[in-house]
Amino acid sequence: MTRFVEEAIARAGLLPVLTARRGGEMDVVRGAIASWRSADLLALGAVADLVRAEDEGTEVRIHEGNDDSVLWVDGAPSELDVLREVAVARISSAPGTKVGIDWGKWGLELAQVALGFGATDLRGPITRKSGLPILEDETKKVKGQGMVDLRSLMKRELADLVRYAGRLPVFIGEQGKRSDASSSTQEVAGA
Cβ(26)–Cβ(94) below 8 Å: yes
Residue 180: pLDDT band with limits 50, 70, 90: low
For 108-136, what is each residue's pLDDT tens digit?
Answer: 999 999 999 999 999 998 887 777 878 87
Three-state SS at 158: helix
Cβ(155)–Cβ(171) below 8 Å: yes
- pTM here is 0.86
Comparing 44-58, 105-119, 128-142, which segment has the lowest mean pLDDT?
128-142
Residue 187 pLDDT: 39
pLDDT at position 188 over 90: no
Q: Is 168 exposed, middle or buried (0-12, 13-18, 19+ CB in 10 A)?
A: middle
Q: Which residues contact 146 (CB under 8 A, 6 or more apart)?
A: 190
For 61-86, what is each residue's pLDDT tens digit?
Answer: 999 888 999 999 988 899 999 999 99
**Backbone dihedral angles phi then psi of residue 180, each to the nearest 5 degrees:** -70, 130
